[in-house]
Amino acid sequence: MDPRQRTGDAAEMLRVVAEGNQTKIWTALPGIIQSFDAAKMTCVVQPTIQGRQVTSKDEVKFINFPLLLDCPVFFPSGGGVTLTFPIAPGDECLVVFSSRCMDAWWQSGGIQPPAEARMHDLSDGFVLPGVRSQPRVLSSVSTSKAQLRSDDGATYVELDPTGAIVKIKATTIILDGAVTITGITTAQANVNVTGTVTGSVDVVGGGKNLKTHIHSGVTVGGGNTGAPV
């Protein structure tokens, strides 16, 4: 028996009752993703905080909570644009629990009455991927620029908040569509072009000027020159 049950203190007993009610209120829990359904945008999650259980012999043991099923995943979105990223088993996350039953809304959208009277229940969790425990923290997190990056930092899109530079680092960058460049383009390596270059090209600077370059030792006439060298 809990010693507090023998004190006869009414205030203490009310506090014990209030604490007991709090154990039934779920707000948020860290978890580990077990599986991800991309078609339904839901996860199965194992909570990472264990529950406390008191046996009939007043022994305390800690047990795992059951798996949380069909938890909708949060991807930042708005105005017809969504940021998505792959979710893999083993990823850590935060599960936030709705204060009322969300089943009817999840199935039909819009404004719905609650399908059940449950409140703050483990059945009503939303998954926020990206929360990390200390063993899984990212290395070399930029403190001055925004990045969309791989966990190892080898690939990223980087935005300087001053507006000076947008940087992309990757082994290969593919632009699928028409590209318009309104400023100066600087290439510090070879440029390979497959297709047709249209319009006028004015090349100045080091090397040969395509606009003014001439060949010596050529007699003007109706013949053709050799291939470009």
Q: What is the pLDDT of residues 50-86, one digit of tens each?
A: 988 888 788 889 999 999 999 999 999 999 999 999 9
Per-residue confidence (pLDDT) for residue 95, from 0 to 100? 98
The first and second tokens of residue 147, run together, are: 């990045």
* Ranges for all domains in the chain classified under CATH 2.40.50.230: 3-137
**% the chain with pLDDT above 70:** 87
Nearest-CA neighbor of 97 among 123, 115, 117, 116?
123
Place of tokens 């046996």: 55
What is the per-residue DSSP string for 137-158?
PPSS--SSSEEEE-TTSSSEEE
What are 138-195's pLDDT values in tens digits? Answer: 999 999 999 999 999 999 999 999 888 899 999 999 999 999 989 888 888 888 888 8
Arithmetic mean of pLDDT, 23-32: 91
β-bridge mates for residue 35, sequence order: 44
> Residue 145: its pLDDT value, please?
94
Which overall architecture, per CATH, does domain 3-137 show? Beta Barrel (2.40)
Closest to 85 in 3D by CA, of 32, 159, 149: 149
pLDDT at 198: 82
- Res 229: pLDDT: 61
Angle at 46 between CA 39 and CA 89, to 5 degrees: 50
- pLDDT at position 109 is 95
Q: Residue 8 pLDDT > 70, yes or no?
A: no
Q: Select the more confidently predicted residue: 187 or 96.
A: 96
The per-residue pLDDT of the chain, averaged, comes to 87
Measured between its terminal Cα atoms, the distance across the chain in Å is: 96
Cα separation, 134 vs 80, in Å, equals: 35
Per-residue pLDDT at 40: 96
Please state the pTM of the whole predicted model. 0.77
Across 9-37, average pLDDT: 82
**What is the sign of the dihedral through the CA atoms of 71, 77, 82 and 85?**
negative
